[in-house]
Amino acid sequence: MMEDNLADAINENNAPFAKWMGVQMTLVTKDRVEAELTVTKDHCTIPDIMHGGAIMALADNLGGVGAVVNMPPGATTTTIESKTNFLRAIPIGQTAKAVTSPVNRGRTLQVWKTEVFREDGKLASVVTQTQLIRTPAGG
């Protein structure tokens, strides 16, 4: 049986910054998070390619979402480390497609890998991040 896709619920309740950027979740399960972001002028550096910070912010949001759907009730998460490899540019007007999967889902630390692709399917970047899981006192 396929796990429920929580994308609609996450899109509705996503972080304000992710909403402002235009991140649209297309798949959210405990094992995989996918999203799209149409690259606009606001996401670009000169000469009209997606800014590295925008790529990192997209990946950070997906890694955080992956952690959220995998942590116990009442817990919170924060990114404590992130590393990005930039491989190819994503031009303005294209839709960046991001796919996030768990590397490790520990009790207090989770590691997530996000691959960001251009419309032609070529890999544009790889982001690996570590999420700290904080449980409520007494939890």
Burial (CB < 10 A; 0-12, 13-18, 19+), residue 111, is middle
Number of neighbours of residue 112 by Cβ within 10 angstroms: 27
Q: Does residue 127 lie within any of the structural domains?
A: yes
Q: Does residue 2 lie within any of the structural domains?
A: no
**Amino acid at position 91, single letter:** P
CATH number at residue 63: 3.10.129.10
Residue 137 confidence class, pLDDT cut points 50, 70, 90: confident
111-132 residue pLDDT tens: 999 999 999 999 999 999 999 9
Helix, strand or coil, per DSSP, at residue 139? coil
38-95 residue pLDDT tens: 999 999 999 999 999 999 999 999 999 999 999 999 999 999 999 999 999 999 999 9
Asked whether the predicted pLDDT for residue 2 surpasses 70, the reply is no
Tell me what pLDDT residue 1 has. Answer: 45
Structural domain harbouring 53: 7-134
